[in-house]
Amino acid sequence: MRIPLYTILLLALISVQANAQGLVSGVVKSASDGSTIPGATVVVKGTTTGTVTDLSGAYSVNVPGGSNTLVFSFVGMKTLEVAIDGRTKIDVSLETDVIGIDEVVVIGYASTRKQDLSVAASTIKIGDNNKGRPASLGNLIQGQMSGVKVTQSGDPTAEAAISIRGKGNKSGDAVLIVVDGVPNAPYNPADIETITVLKDAASSAIYGAHAGSGGVIIITTKQAKEGKLSVEANVWQGVQQAWRLPEVLTSEQFNMVWKDASEAAGKTVPATYDPIQFPYGNVTRTDWVDAIFRVGRMEHYDLTLRGGSKDLKALASISYDNVEGTLINTYNKKLTTRLGVEMAVNKWTTLRQNLVYDYSNGKSGIGDGHTGTIFGAMAYPRFSTVYEYDADGNKLYGGTVPRWALAEGYSVEADLRNPVAMLEKVRQNNPANRIFSNTSLEIKPIDGLSLKSDFSIELNSLRNESFQQRFLEPGRTIDQNYRTISNSLYRGWNWDNILSYSKIVNEKHYFSALAGFTMNQKNYRYNSNQVRGFAFEDEYQAIFLNGTDWTVKPIEEIWDEAYVSVLGRASYSYDDRYFITGSIRRDASSKLSPDNNSDIFPAVSASWKLSSESFMKQVTAVSFAKLRVSWGQVGNINSVRRFIYAPPYQVTSWPLFLGPDGENQGYGIFQPTIPNPDLKWERTEQTNIGIDVGFLQN
């Protein structure tokens, strides 16, 4: 049957009309004040087709056939989906969201809108885009915040070093990590929801002497939520490797440098560097840097379950990480589990219970300084092989290099060891167990008033086992083996009580205040023993019972600490334009003399939100602008030795052992010390001036 041409054309026209929805236009406004929103995003749902609104908030977009929904979004506004239903003009109003410009930021013992801050602080939310990062605090914030520097050491058992605005750390003071309001509490990295970094002394001063010079990082974790059971799972695998490794001269190049230097100085070339006297030393056999570094595999698995009713809800999570270090024979394995339950006792009382168990075990072997592995890889002669076998089949690290070649030619021969052997000839077993419990009771008797009491307790046990095999290879030798075992037990509790109140008067005056009382106590026990001289070096023979040299004295350390603090903070803002905050904290420590054991740490800050002024309404390219100034003081409680005011003797060298080859690994040595009852911890004072500006996207 022949179909007429006009019928075919008619069908084609109908098909085109069915597949081309057409042009849709409109204006996007703010629901709060009716003002237009430039830079808002308009996307056809399920496609990549979209546009942004112009300076007057207007848009137009071609909607492909089969699509019937537009998605409107803007920073600080709730995303809105609107059905087209054949319309060609759609005007919408977006409502302010609780995130973005009105995002609530957790600060010391409270929270506030991000735009209301008068101190320097940055916050990031951990979303799906962070799930491909290795699960650690350093990896999550690396490159995410200005003024925050993260340095990875390459040791898989060590935490990353974090520096806030280059302040560095005094007296070994590290960044204070506060987890859900509890200082130094353990956490599952997979449970992190937000991270806030307090960048100036005014924001950190509420933590007083505990803040230290390193600064404060506040972690908020996922909490139990109402609703049906939800399951979140995350699995990833990756690799890591050192970047921009040092390049070392070849043996031939090294000998040529020595030849030129000797001739310039009018001296004879040492035999070690003379290819005629020692031709073996003029051949490059090993790249030691390449020999000790590797591409390390990383594995991460986590599972989170959440759900419950309005009155009772719970969260359970578990995560496992297996990380190979970038150096051979180094690794770290970590398992973290968490259980959280929230119960509404009545309409104004909430009880929360949080339990965390953390287990880890790993091996490091980096060392430091001129005796470390990495330095050894750059200094050990490249004419040597990694290892060879003798007539009896024994592995010889460094091969058959004559000792005189190192002793005569290398001035640091006494500190040089085969770097591969340094990593492979030490066995370690370092299981660590940590149990943490936090019980929180929150009472809200009237609107704006809250009383929260948090009690946490922690138990941390660590066992370190290591066995150093004999090191008889060319270079620095260890003529006998030794096994070291140490055990530590930490127990501590922390109790925080915070009363807070906030109120808005006449829609222009906002008041908030809090007062708190905190106390904590810590107890630590440590002992360590070393036995030398084992006839056999395999794992099950190298035990204390088979050691022959018990002359090394055992080590024991015991200490207790206690702190009591009171704190307060008050804030006022007017008409969403002017903000002022003041805080004060008094800390008392058992480290100091009872007659001089406390100090006070004040702070004050103010800000002017320029974007709330009428003259800024004409500047359409700027969405937010604020000028702020702050001043504050923090202390450093780690700068003071324990009980420095009381005993006539103090430990000047902490428990490490003297190596069998005479190297000073340190005994705990007691020496007379003059008591100092007037001593206080270090104090850091800082003034900060800044401006925060947000621009609309074109």
Contact (Cβ atoms closer than 8 angstroms) between residue 522 and residue 561: yes
- For 50-87, the pLDDT digits (tens) are 787 887 788 988 888 778 889 888 755 678 889 998 89
Alpha-carbon distances of 26 from 60, 65, 79, 209, 663, rounded to whole Å: 7, 19, 16, 57, 79
Alpha-carbon distances of 192 from 186, 304, 617, rounded to whole Å: 11, 12, 37
pLDDT value of residue 410: 59
pLDDT value of residue 662: 40
pTM of the model: 0.75
Average pLDDT over residues 384-392: 82
Cα 563 from chain centroid (whole Å):
26
Least confident of 12-21, 384-393, 643-652: 12-21
Average pLDDT over residues 372-385: 86
Q: Give the confidence band of 595 by pLDDT, cuts at 50, 70, 90.
A: confident
Contact (Cβ atoms closer than 8 angstroms) between residue 531 and residue 549: yes
Please determine, for residue 465, whether its predicted confidence score (pLDDT) is greater than 50: yes
- CATH fold of 5-94: Immunoglobulin-like (2.60.40)
Q: What is the mean pLDDT of the chain?
A: 82
Structure tokens, 186:
């353990």
pLDDT value of residue 696: 56
Burial class (CB in 10 A: 0-12, 13-18, 19+), 191: buried
Better-scored residue on pLDDT, 366 or 267: 267
Please determine, for residue 460, whether its predicted confidence score (pLDDT) is greater than 90: yes
The domain spans of the chain are 5-94
Structure tokens, 579:
């903000």
Rounded to 5 degrees, what are φ and ψ at 210?
-80, -20
- For 174-199, the pLDDT digits (tens) are 788 999 988 888 888 888 888 888 88
Residues 563, 588: Cα–Cα separation, whole Å: 6
Q: Give the confidence band of 408 by pLDDT, cuts at 50, 70, 90.
A: low
Better-scored residue on pLDDT, 104 or 487: 487
Which residues lie below 8 Å from residue 650, measured CB to CB, with a gap of 6+? 641, 644, 670, 671, 673
Least confident of 33-37, 344-348, 441-445: 33-37
Please determine, for residue 132, whether its predicted confidence score (pLDDT) is greater than 80: no
Neighbours of 585 (CB within 10 A): 27
